[in-house]
Amino acid sequence: MKKIFLFLYILITFAVQGQSYMRIVSLAPSFTQSIYYLEAQDKLVGCTSYCEAAKKDNKEIVSSVIKANIEKIISLKPDLVLASGLTDPKDTELLKKMGIRVETIQSPKSFNDICEQFLQLGELIGKTEKAAIMVEESKHTIEKIAEKNKHKRGQKMFFQIGADPLFTVISNTFMNDYMTLMGIENIAGKLTQGTVTREFVIANNPDYIFIATMGIVGEEELKTWKRYTGLKASKKKQIFIIDSEIACQPTPITFVETMKVMDQLINL
């Protein structure tokens, strides 16, 4: 009986792997990056104008992050289109009517969501085993970082991702996990929207301030926060800039890279 079950399992696995898609259009930079991490870029035929690695490989640009060029997508004859929550539903419906499979993947709200979506993508493109290994390695690394920083519980952080207006990471977003997984309190964790004032930050007096790169604006924000000498983060020289290309990219690999950088900076 066990041999029969094993045989059936192998048949089903082979069938699922055989159904992997061969011509893929990605409508979000994180999907594209994940495809590259899974070494399936040969299947990628179209991407957004923000997918840097794909652009270097001369993949067809078929969309901004929000607006897709439907005619161009159809002309590429994809068998799978990966759409984000920002993709216009009218566009996805039109693609479906043309007989193209569309998978809409919403913005992840946690590190666990990121991992689940990565596994889902791995199944779609025939990289199930590789995706599972990468997720397991990512989770293991995060556990080690969390264990290392458990003594920091009770400390607070402000994570800035916009300057005009001042915008921050709130709860129910994957970036909030950068803080919570290390046991550090997000001073904006109880807010329902990300717009804040400098007075709010000063009143909550964070131990750390992280600023996602915004070019010259980010550098100016760094200088501005350092002028508030009463802030714990300023006194302790714990105000840092972090690469938004990594920190704001929801993949298991970039999440780990961000956590590694944050871990290194807060433990200087």
In a domain, residue 142? The reply is no
At 111, which CATH number?
Answer: 3.40.50.1980
CA distance 131 to 119: 6
* Statement to judge: residues 81 and 168 lie in one domain: no
- What is the pLDDT, as a whole number, of residue 8? 41
Which of 126, 160, 192 delimits the end of a domain?
126
Which contacts of 231-237 are long-range, i.e. CB under 8 A and separated by 24 or more positions?
Answer: 231/201, 231/202, 231/205, 231/206, 232/205, 232/206, 232/207, 233/158, 233/206, 233/207, 233/208, 233/209, 236/207
CB contact at 8 A, 82 and 31: yes
* Per-residue confidence (pLDDT) for residue 153, from 0 to 100: 82
Cα–Cα dist 111/177, whole Å: 7
Query: What pLDDT is attached to residue 65?
Result: 75
80 and 36, same structural domain? Answer: yes
- The predicted pLDDT at position 19 comes to 58
Question: Which tens digits make up the pLDDT trace of 176-218?
Answer: 999 999 999 999 999 999 999 999 999 999 999 999 998 899 9
pLDDT in the model for residue 35: 97
φ, ψ of residue 118 in degrees (nearest 5): -65, -40
The per-residue pLDDT for 132 is 98
Residue 248 lies in a domain: yes
Q: How many domains does the chain have?
A: 2
Residues 240 and 154 occupy one common structural domain:
yes
Report the alpha-carbon distance of residue 173 to residue 113 in Å, rounded.
10
Q: Is residue 63 part of a domain?
A: yes
Domain assignment present for 87: yes
Asked whether residue 75 falls in the same domain as residue 174, the answer is no
Torsion, Cα 203 208 213 217, to 10 degrees, reads: 40
Token pair, residue 20, equals 């992997």
Answer whether residue 7 is part of any domain: no
Helix axes 252-266, 29-37, angle to 10 degrees: 90
Domain interval for residue 176: 149-266
165 cis-preceded (ω within 30 degrees of 0): yes
What type of residue is 203? A
Q: Look up the pTM and report it.
A: 0.89
Domain match, 40 and 88 both: yes
Which regions in the chain score pLDDT beneath 50? 2-18
**In a shared domain, residues 257 and 166:** yes
**Any domain includes 106:** yes
Residue 163 is assigned to a structural domain of this protein: yes
